[in-house]
Structure 1
Amino acid sequence: MHIVPRIPITGEMITSTNVTDAADFDLSTTYNLGDLVTDPATMIEYESQGAGNLGNTPATDDGTWWVATGYANSMRMVDGFLSAQTTNANSIELVLDIGQLFTSVVCFNVSAQEVTLSIKEDAAEIFSQTIDMVRTDDVQDLWDYFFTEPEYKTVAIFPSVPGFAGAQATLTISAPSDTAKIGEAFFGYGRFIGETLEGSGPQFKDYSVKEANDYGEFTVVERPFSRGASFEVGINPQDTERIMRILEENRAKVCAFFPADEMEHYGLTIAGFLTKFSPGLKHRGIVPVNINVEGVT
């Protein structure tokens, strides 16, 4: 299992993007009901709550004239949550100068045909990889090949990249003739914890509300869900102190967790918080350890 602590991405780190946001708030403009604006200081998007909205600053309004809707479109892919997606016609391109070391990139809640990561040093490309997001596990024979509607992966993992401080990273989400979408892109310094063992499995938590009346008729309010996991990980007892240090440092941070490449189809690529680490140590051999991760929405 690998852990990738998320580097918080700020507006100053974004060199360029092709994603369009709502226009910046202008104190001299009169806004109508439903108009959207962006606070350039925080990159929070606000929606006007009435016509004739003039001279009311969103960041200090009490909710009478403006309601925050979340981060602006371009920032939703780096806000730390998976459900709010950055969207754009045909492709999303984000160019970053993070200014610190990152060795792994994990993309969640993706809707696209390809995801490409390119890294440059002084305008010279030193790394480039494209991940095909088309799923092939439903294609069992020629009939499936010709008649099954294509399905797409929602997670793309770049486990080992040369993202040193000063390098420029370009992440491209490609969906030709469609709308490209991505919920979150984790950039971070990936660390290996141990081998993922049998007994590991994903967990699912739904935050929707389902209530029944006396006649058994349900009222359902659909809300976001999260995917967590219970990992069984084999570690070397002599490596316990290193692992404890990594997990302690990231105990209250949103991180990406993923197993080895050959376990891609196990549904164990998770974005969330570490909640449990309970090793039963012995002097020799590989020790199975349970690590629980609570997923974020």
Structure 2
Amino acid sequence: MDFNIIAPMTVTDAELTTSNIPENDHAVWDAGTSFGLGAKVISTTSHRIYESMQAGNQGNDPVSDDGTWWLDLKATNRWSAFDQRRSNRASYAEEITYSIVPSQDCDAISLFGLSAGSVQIEVFDGATLIYDQTFAMADTGHVVSMYTYFFGGVVFQRQKVLNGFPGYIGHRIDITISAPGSVAEVGHIVLGRNHILGEVMNLPNIQHVSHSRKGYDDFGDEILVKRGSTRRVEVDLIVQTLQAPRVMDIIAEVDGVATAFYLSGGAPSYGIEGLGFVDDHSQPIDIAGDSVFPLVMKTLK
């Protein structure tokens, strides 16, 4: 099994050419309008939602504000799929579409926080369709008995990783997330260049990290405050020692950004996949040939 990382491409107005999600979450900020306390606006420059912190808020640009007049809440619905967070989902009735023209080599896509029956990826070279794949998102891994087969209900995959499609600069990638009769959702989309770091040794460790807390009510009784959870993934990678500089360069490239990681090679992933960041990586060098590099990834909520 090989451990893969997708070095993410930044998606800006230059790359995201069209989407069926309108950017109309709230009124667009206007310098000539006075906004009251608690009023919400959007900026079509930063593609974020802001809340007014004071009454009589006029002429204060939320994009450059230091927090005196505006509170930066989150990305707009259209841009929520590219804000490095999985929990803030882009949503739209029945179907979400994005058209993206990469500004760098891009041969891999990973989608997280999905609520969809299918995902379609199309790649165009000019007007010519050169790649077209549709993936059903039904998750058969939850069928563990005849009872669950007939009565367990339909469970859908929450994430999808694919690579190997034409990845040269200038092609257009169309993403269609379909949920007929329901609301289509996606938490985060990573597009970029796929890198194989090394082969995973046996006994990787996956740790469930709960962010929930125990509190107390006014009578002193215990209450649980649910705050979601993440995973900590620890793997040891077998890497040719001569490849050590390449691996370290890739790790440095993805440092501090939301990165997709997954296993390839035909074997089950065993849960070693997700949207996260590199928490720790060291390279003890064995000059005789192959080296074993420990790597720790932490997922994002």
Common fold by TM > 0.5: yes
SS at match of 2:249: helix
1:4 matches 2:26: no
Letter of the 1:84 partner, please give it. N
Q: 1:119 aligns with which of 120, 123, 137?
A: 123
Query: What is the aligned partner in structure 1 of residue 262 from structure 2?
Result: 258
Deviation, 1:250, is 3.0
Letter of the 1:208 partner, please give it. S
Letter of the 1:144 partner, please give it. T
Q: 1:196 to 1:7 in 2, by over 3 A?
A: same
Indicate the larger mover: 38-47 or 64-73.
64-73
Which protein is richer in helix relative to its size? 1
Q: 1:49 to 1:243 in 2, by over 3 A?
A: closer
Distance 1:280 1:48 in 2: 52
Distance 1:264 1:182 in 2: 24
Letter of the 1:222 partner, please give it. K
Distance 2:282 2:204 in 1: 14
Deviation, 1:50, is 8.0
Give the TM-score of the pair, scaled to structure 1.
0.87
Query: What is the aligned partner in structure 1 of residue 227 from structure 2?
Result: 223
1:17 matches 2:19: yes
Distance 1:54 1:293 in 2: 44
| Aligned pairs, number | 297
- Structure 2: any 5+ residue segments left out of the alignment? none
Letter of the 2:8 partner, please give it. R
Deviation, 1:122, is 0.6
Query: What is the aligned partner in structure 2 of residue 246 from structure 1?
Result: 250
Q: 1:208 aligns with which of 212, 225, 249?
A: 212
Q: 1:87 to 1:172 in 2, by over 3 A?
A: same
Distance 1:223 1:103 in 2: 35
SS at match of 2:282: strand
Deviation, 1:86, is 0.6
Letter of the 2:229 partner, please give it. F
Q: Does the Cα contact within 8 Å between 1:98 and 1:165 map onto a contact in 2?
A: yes
Q: 2:193 aligns with which of 189, 194, 205?
A: 189
SS at match of 1:193: strand
1:94 matches 2:93: no
Letter of the 1:275 partner, please give it. D
Query: What is the aligned partner in structure 2 of residue 38 from structure 1?
Result: 42
Indicate the larger mover: 51-60 or 197-206.
51-60
Give the TM-score of the pair, scaled to structure 2.
0.86
Listed as ranges, the matches of 1:123-142 within 5 Å are 123-142=127-146
Distance 1:257 1:208 in 2: 25
CA offset digits 1:221-279 (Å, max 9, x no partner) = 43353333111222222322322232233333332211115355511112222232334
1:146 matches 2:150: yes
In angstroms, what is the RMSD of aligned CA positions? Answer: 2.8
Deviation, 1:39, is 0.6
